[in-house]
Structure 1
Amino acid sequence: MEYTRFEKARIIGARALQISMGAPPLLEVQKKDPIEIAVLEFEEGVTPITVKRERETRIRPPV
């Protein structure tokens, strides 16, 4: 599934908050910054957060 930039920011932000509050990282990482860990998890596709859409959103290709 492709995400809009707003969905991506929300997913990474929510996961970074979970990590900062003590949730275990889902990847073996040496980094300590929750945002960097959340970005790595998102890029690897292991983030345990989904987006529920009421209707399909058209995603424009990057310019």
Structure 2
Amino acid sequence: MTETQHFNRYEKARIIGARALQVSYGAPVLVDTDQTEPILIAAEEYDANALPFTVRRGN
């Protein structure tokens, strides 16, 4: 069983922004959606926990 990560608002913004950039450059969309804006697609993917991003926190 994997532990769900909770991201703060800055990490969330960075993840969604990075994914939106990938989508805008032609990356495949990971969820079924009717959206056409990359930022909205990325937000839906984030909400569906479909993004393969990890956040490393450290010193």
TM-score per shorter chain, which class? 0.7 to 0.9
Task: Could you tell me which runs of 5 or more consecutive residues in structure 2 were left unpaired when the two chains were aligned.
Answer: none
Paired residue type of 1:17 = L
Q: Distance between the aligned counterparts of 1:33 and 1:9, measured in 2?
A: 16
What TM-score do you get using the length of structure 1 for normalisation?
A: 0.82
Question: CA RMSD for the aligned pairs?
Answer: 1.0
Partner of 1:34: 38
Q: Which has the higher contact order (CA 8 A, sep 6+)?
A: 1
Partner of 2:57: 53
Q: Distance between the aligned counterparts of 1:31 and 1:3, measured in 2?
A: 24
Task: Could you tell me which runs of 5 or more consecutive residues in structure 1 were left unpaired when the two chains were aligned.
Answer: 56-63
Matched residue pairs, number? 55
What TM-score do you get using the length of structure 2 for normalisation?
A: 0.87
Partner of 2:29: 25
Superposition deviation, residue 23 in structure 1: 0.1
